Chains A and B, each alone.
Chain A
Amino acid sequence: MDDRRVLTVSGLSVDYLTGSGPVRAVDSVDLELEAGEFLGIVGESGSGKSTLLYAIAQLLTPPAEIAAGSVEFLGRDLVQLTRAQLRHSRWRDFSVVMQSAMNALNPVMTLEAQMRDTCEAHTEMRSEEIHARSVEVMRLVGVDPIHLRSYPHQLSGGMRQRAMIAMALLFTPQLVIMDEPTSSLDVVAQRSLMIQVKRLQERLGFAVIFVTHDMSLVGGIADRLAVMYAGKLVEVGPTRDLFSRPLHPYTRGLLEAFPSIQAVRQRLIGIPGSPPDLARLGAGCRFATRCTDAIEVCAATDPPAENIDGRTVRCLRVKGWLGHAEQ
């Protein structure tokens, strides 16, 4: 076991308990994360990426629950911990940055008051220490500490998101989990925020899991990418490799689905069809109905995860394309 390994997710499955039985939103996900690594999880709405994130952070609420698997973080399985033990770990060892600051921040408290709340909930810090730390994290994210006295609605969208990141860094955690934190921002503010995150990561050394539906957003910043479809990870590997030579047809489709400002203007097709209904899955590959490379066996067999070329891919045809011997 690599002692630089920060997170090991094994066989994690999450079910939503509906009136007509459990629906599996996340299916046997395996992930590893090294210290200081930036992992991007990319998928469409409904792929289960947010559910996966919340499952890792142990933030699931009924009717969602973890059905199987483990989340080993710093040597302990988070799934098995009691609430009290989790509370001790939460925010000090790992923290979460939500999608919209306006929803996550308390609108009737100043930033300083919220940071104080957080500090008091997790530590025994004295008042002066809390203030000093609050000022420090605000400076870290590039927001003037004078805004500690502001209410969330008095700040711009970009500043609010930075304030959220500041709060997430209060105890310099080893892992920061981010759920599409730039989706409410304009392109210039978005770029600023991404740069800020990268700078902080290099300076403080924390690992990041970044969930998004926009692959191009994390393309220039993530070390590894995990592509998620219909509850399963279909391709995981180094970012450069995924972009230059995507193996899974879905990854390829994703890359070709957004227009690039650098490219010549020509018609793009995107991926026809829509994601499957998770309550009514067939036996075979979940992407088969939309896959332009699907063959007969794809509809019958659910591809296992295989390690190929330094990546993990779930596709029956990849080995054939790469000229490897059939298993």
Chain B
Amino acid sequence: MYRKIMVPIDLAHLDVLEPSLATVADLARHYDAEICYVGVTATQPGSVARTPEEYQQKLDAFADERAKVHGQPVSTRTITSPDPVADLDDLLIDAIDDVGADLVVMPTHPPKHLDVLMPSHGGKVATHTDVSVFLVRPAKQ
């Protein structure tokens, strides 16, 4: 049913991603889909990488690690932005079409009042694309 799953990755906060990565692996195996890991990074040096090239390498390495876990084909895309905090949602929405994904899986936080002022990235992406979006919330204690 799904052929290509896009998974936005924040290499600086991999701990937050953990539950959604397992979901991605299960889904990909179930549908025998390719997974495209997308990273958005600043053009300026950051905590993960000091150049966009270095970020791309780290993302590739990450994708290879994941491929060993789930065995599905992987690809990566690094998107650079001079102001990633502000541009993130729009860049991800554009990336869905660019990579030709038919499903997006990304982690998000439980709804909170602050979302009215600053919507969650997952929520924003889901409302601005016509492909299916699977938002993975942290497991309930």
Q: Is A bound to B?
A: no
